[in-house]
Chains A and B, each alone.
Chain A
């Protein structure tokens, strides 16, 4: 790994989201709440989803974490808010697969090649940090896939 890889990970897009996260708020009447823990790091995010039968009408988060986990949660909230439940399910799959493929392969989302979350693909070069990037996505996936109203996920 080099300084270039590092610049690639902490690039402006990521730092911007971590400093000015969108959708960072508590939603008291959310239909689903999921707490995501990364016990090793101490990252702790709560994801709020407002779902109806067909649509994910709102996604937000609150909590504390490193720049990577906060940026990722911010990007996720932005991407999932307002899409259909089917689209959300397939986006969650795509993004979680993106973090699972080898670092040598380009980080791309078939459906949205320019999605900001692809900027986080560089995290794959830092195995101990991948779970920071996936934390919020696992949290959202656990409620959308499981139809649970309140869940807790842990990346450990």
Chain B
């Protein structure tokens, strides 16, 4: 507890502090196990902002009908809200056209779509797919499935002992056999920010397509897909104060246009007959069936809400909060941080002496502190650090230093229990 007495802590300045916005998050205004909830699990799923809930409720209460089909008023309203959300998302990530914004179930579905519709049709024996060691299972397994089905190799760029990834470690693996580089922007397990600018610039010189898993980047930092120069960029709404079950695949229009449809059904067709079927144009070609209309509306409201605050302002405050959390934990002799890359976002993974993360997680929960424990759907990086899992505290702009102090205090209970 010496950390709390230290007055030189790098805590956010009052100008940076935007945690008053937590009042917009009804879930956070509750007691859990008799204590104020300190929600430090936003990397798993963020809480929902009231304007998001309101937008979804308004749609469900007043405007619901199927989209792109009816001539009646509600169908018009539903279509315009759904397509309005697409335009909002386009602006949020800086895409050139709404044709490049495909609504999916989430990041995982976006990656599977690209794996099966963009990569698989052009695979030939000897091809290589490149990922890094710190990917989420969602950016490993779809590629392993392709590798198992075709005679291709999955190549894995190594991480450093501090959890950072050198651009060269990735670019060294790129060659004329590489069919795609699939890489995270931010590691969900460690918080490492990857040097995508250098990596993508190099891939571009070799004409290698790049898919960026942006699930952990979008909630924490401004994203401009054109500046990033990614071919595909995928993310989920529920990590960015929006609902579950909806996400986005951004793809460069020229690539999406050349890809075959992924799933067949209604909405993705132009004309169907038993002699043959023609497909709809982008983005509808990739949205078979009635979509998650209310989810898209919630996602659009989430983008508006975050843009209203300003992504750079969010990034700056979270960075200050991350420094505070990192310093607090570093001051404890019995805490080992897993992942101490120089460039990190919003996530701290740690272990306490020989206490198993699950015991730790159960004990701090008694003080209303919600953290994630386990392998964080990134088992290979846990294997790299030779740990079965970690405790992970992840931050959002609605967190404040009180939440972090609550965690540090609850860790005292863990020590008492296991002493």
A-B contact list, 9 entries, CB within 8 Å: A5-B366, A10-B363, A10-B417, A15-B417, A42-B388, A42-B389, A66-B359, A67-B356, A132-B358
Q: Could you tell me the distance between the alpha carbons of A3 and B388 in the complex, rounded to whole angstroms?
A: 27
Residues in chain B near residue A68, CB distance under 8 A: 358-359
Neighbour of B358 across the interface among A3, A5, A7, A129, CB < 8 A:
A129
How near does chain A come to B363, taking the closest CB pair, in angstroms? Answer: 6
Residues in chain A near residue B389, CB distance under 8 A: 41-42
Q: Which residues of A come within 8 Å of B, CB atoms? A: 1-3, 5-7, 9-10, 15, 40-44, 64-68, 126, 128-129, 132
Residues in chain B near residue A6, CB distance under 8 A: 362-363, 366, 417
Q: Could you tell me the distance between the alpha carbons of A43 and B356 in the complex, rounded to whole angstroms?
A: 10
Which residue on B lies nearest to A70, using beta carbons? Answer: B356
User: Closest 8 A-B residue pairs measured CB to CB?
Assistant: A66-B356, A42-B388, A66-B358, A42-B389, A67-B359, A66-B359, A10-B417, A6-B366
A65 touches B356 (CB 8 A): yes
Using known A-B contacts A2-B33, A2-B34, A6-B366, determine if residue A43 contacts B359 with beta carbons closer than 8 Å. Answer: no
Neighbour of B366 across the interface among A1, A44, A64, A132, CB < 8 A:
A1
A3 touches B366 (CB 8 A): yes
Q: Could you tell me the distance between the alpha carbons of A73 and B99 in the complex, rounded to whole angstroms?
A: 56
Q: Which residues of B come within 8 Å of A, CB atoms? A: 33-34, 355-359, 362-363, 366, 373-375, 382, 388-389, 413, 417-418
Residues in chain B near residue A44, CB distance under 8 A: 388
Which residue on B lies nearest to A39, using beta carbons? Answer: B375
Neighbour of B375 across the interface among A1, A9, A42, CB < 8 A:
A42
Q: Could you tell me the distance between the alpha carbons of A5 and B413 in the complex, rounded to whole angstroms?
A: 14
A41 touches B358 (CB 8 A): yes
How near does chain B come to A138, taking the closest CB pair, in angstroms? Answer: 17
How near does chain B come to A10, taking the closest CB pair, in angstroms? Answer: 5
Residues in chain B near residue A1, CB distance under 8 A: 33, 366
A42 touches B374 (CB 8 A): yes
Given contacts A3-B413, A43-B388, 19 further A-B pairs with CB under 8 A are A1-B366, A2-B366, A6-B366, A6-B417, A10-B417, A15-B418, A41-B358, A41-B373, A41-B374, A41-B388, A41-B389, A42-B388, A42-B389, A43-B358, A65-B388, A66-B357, A67-B418, A129-B358, A132-B358
Which residue on A lies nearest to B390, using beta carbons? Answer: A42
How near does chain A come to B116, taking the closest CB pair, in angstroms? Answer: 25
Residues in chain A near residue B373, CB distance under 8 A: 41
How near does chain A come to B382, taking the closest CB pair, in angstroms? Answer: 7
Residues in chain B near residue A40, CB distance under 8 A: 374
Residues in chain A near residue B362, CB distance under 8 A: 6, 9, 126, 128-129
Residues in chain B near residue A10, CB distance under 8 A: 359, 363, 417-418
Residues in chain B near residue A15, CB distance under 8 A: 417-418
Residues in chain A near residue B366, CB distance under 8 A: 1-3, 5-6
How near does chain B come to A123, taking the closest CB pair, in angstroms? Answer: 9
How near does chain A come to B91, taking the closest CB pair, in angstroms? Answer: 38
Of the listed residues A3, A10, A66, the one surrounded by the most CB atoms of chain B closer than 10 A to its CB is: A66
Residues in chain B near residue A9, CB distance under 8 A: 362
Of the listed residues A9, A42, A44, the one surrounded by the most CB atoms of chain B closer than 10 A to its CB is: A42
Neighbour of B388 across the interface among A7, A64, A128, CB < 8 A:
A64
How near does chain B come to A28, taking the closest CB pair, in angstroms? Answer: 24
Q: Could you tell me the distance between the alpha carbons of A1 and B365 in the complex, rounded to whole angstroms?
A: 10
Which residue on B lies nearest to A44, using beta carbons? Answer: B388
Which residue on B lies nearest to A68, using beta carbons? Answer: B359
How near does chain B come to A145, taking the closest CB pair, in angstroms? Answer: 27
Which residue on A lies nearest to B363, using beta carbons? Answer: A6
Q: Could you tell me the distance between the alpha carbons of A42 and B413 in the complex, rounded to whole angstroms?
A: 23
Residues in chain B near residue A2, CB distance under 8 A: 33-34, 366
Which residue on B lies nearest to A7, using beta carbons? Answer: B417
Q: Could you tell me the distance between the alpha carbons of A44 and B417 in the complex, rounded to whole angstroms?
A: 23
Which residue on A lies nearest to B388, using beta carbons? Answer: A42
Residues in chain A near residue B413, CB distance under 8 A: 3
Residues in chain A near residue B357, CB distance under 8 A: 66
Q: Could you tell me the distance between the alpha carbons of A128 and B372 in the complex, rounded to whole angstroms?
A: 12
Which residue on A lies nearest to B414, using beta carbons? Answer: A10
Q: Could you tell me the distance between the alpha carbons of A44 and B356 in the complex, rounded to whole angstroms?
A: 13
Q: Could you tell me the distance between the alpha carbons of A41 and B387 in the complex, rounded to whole angstroms?
A: 12
Q: Could you tell me the distance between the alpha carbons of A22 and B135 in the complex, rounded to whole angstroms?
A: 38
Q: Could you tell me the distance between the alpha carbons of A40 and B359 in the complex, rounded to whole angstroms?
A: 14
Q: Could you tell me the distance between the alpha carbons of A128 and B359 in the complex, rounded to whole angstroms?
A: 11
Which residue on B lies nearest to A63, using beta carbons? Answer: B388
